[in-house]
Amino acid sequence: MTDSSNRFRTFAAQLLEHEGALVEPVEPHGLEAMLPGNLQQALRAPEFLRLGFAAELPAGAERASLESDWLERFGELLDGRGRRLKFAASATVPPLGHVERIVEHNVALQNAVYRLSQIEQAWTRYLIFIFRYTAISDEKREGIFRFGFNLINGSAIDPMIDQLLAAALDEGATETVTKPAASQLPADWTAEKLKKAVTRALPVRVRAHLGQFVNGMQRRLDRDLERVHEYFNGLREESWRKLKKQKGDAARERLRIEAAEREYQAKVADLKQKYDLRVNVELVQTLELISQVQRVTLVIKRRKGERKLPLDWNPIARQLDPLPCEWSFVAEGPRVVCDDQLHIISPAGHAPCPQCGREYCRVCSPRRCPKCGREESQAVDSKSGLV
Ligand SMILES: [Zn+2]
Ligand SMILES: [Zn+2]
């Protein structure tokens, strides 16, 4: 059973349970559910539903692969209510000093210093996005991936997303919680800010999921290119040999070499088309998890500048959120601080301009280099169909 079908089974089981179904796993790699009336209607499914998630199906089960329409049916079920799924989770308070020590050990800025100014019990909102991707070249690959942000500061929560999602879908853990007042929660991001963040966050995650697929494709392409090259090289060498020995008709051999050259170029172009990669990414679902956190406030200093940054420790995952990258919204890697606005970014967001070599902050200047005016290429996104 692949990872993605495994995750799909867990996702389906959690969702069905959340919607009031009784769910039991059945082997191999399936589940059996008893659906209440409204859920039968919403999913256009019988009262007793058996789904299989791997190649081998349990007896009498419907196939719920990623290619089937089950993902859409689940999505419709949730979207039909015109809202995001929303959950609240409370948390146990960590021992005194615990979070401060974790911050001291884990938070490092390459070109700035910080001090811890405050620690408090607080609430936050995490947005979790579930995406489906379809990649097509000579082969097809589909899968699900998910990522999310903490709305207080844009920290990417990839390292703890499974735990947060499990908590969000575990009704028992959320029932007893009194939801905090809206004033205690970080505000909604504007549609523009959210779109920008998701658009920038997607390519890296898609690439990570497609790494193996792309490598396999590259190997097949290289192998085919080599084969074609060898074949035409053979033809060419033979003609050259004949030319050198002045055997046969020289003009004809020259024409033959030219024709082989053209055919070779055409074959290479065909191969490039055959292995051309198209990736489509669709948002399946957005979940919102409201969670209690321990919030530390960092005061970050760079040269004469100073800014405050809230950073949350999440008691469900028992982890500190990664420092945000306010440019690419990645979770991993080191962070630097920009001179002008003290943006926190991964080094790629402060990379030298390929034309003039000047390092600059991509949050401050998203479109062009402030020194020479070279435009930032957006080509990657539109080519892979991610926008
Ligand atoms: Zn430049
Ligand atoms: Zn900046």
Name the pairing type of β-strands 85-89 and 278-302.
parallel
Distance 21 CA to ligand 2 centre (A): 49
Query: Exposed (0-12), middle (13-18) or buried (19+): which is 112, by Cβ within 10 Å?
Result: buried
Under 8 Å between Cβ of 311 and 296: yes
Which ligand lies nearest the alpha carbon of 349? 2
360 CA distance to ligand 1 middle (Å) = 9
Alpha carbons 171 and 176: distance in angstroms, whole number: 9
Beta-strand ranges (E) seen in 41-162 are: 48-52, 62-63, 85-89, 113-136, 140-150
Token digits of residue 63: 């196939």
State pLDDT tens for residues 78-126: 654 434 556 666 667 788 888 999 999 999 999 999 999 999 999 999 9
Please tell me the distance between residue 353's alpha carbon and the centre of ligand 2 in angstroms.
15
Kindly report, residue by residue over 256-312, the tens digit of the pLDDT.
Answer: 888 888 999 999 999 988 888 888 888 877 888 888 899 999 999 999 999 999 999
Query: For residues 149 and 328, what is the distance between their CA atoms, to the nearest angstrom?
Result: 12
**How many angstroms is it from 374 CA to the middle of ligand 1?**
5
Query: How much distance in Å is there from the Cα of 383 to the middle of ligand 2?
Result: 27
Per-residue pLDDT 10s for the chain (387 aa) are: 566 677 778 878 888 888 889 999 998 889 999 999 888 988 889 999 999 988 889 988 998 876 677 877 776 666 544 345 566 666 677 888 889 999 999 999 999 999 999 999 999 999 988 888 888 888 888 888 889 999 999 999 999 988 887 777 665 555 556 778 889 999 989 989 998 999 899 988 888 888 888 888 889 999 999 999 999 989 888 888 888 887 667 888 888 888 888 999 999 999 988 888 888 888 877 888 888 899 999 999 999 999 999 999 998 888 999 999 999 999 998 999 999 999 999 999 999 999 999 999 999 999 999 999 998 764 333 333 333
- For residue 375, give the ligand nearest its CA: 1
Print the SS3 string covering 224-269: HHHHHHHHHHHHHHHHHHHHHCCCCCHHHHHHHHHHHHHHHHHHHH
User: Is residue 291 a contact partner of residue 164, using CB atoms and an 8 Å limit?
Assistant: yes
Cα 371 to middle of ligand 1, angstroms? 5
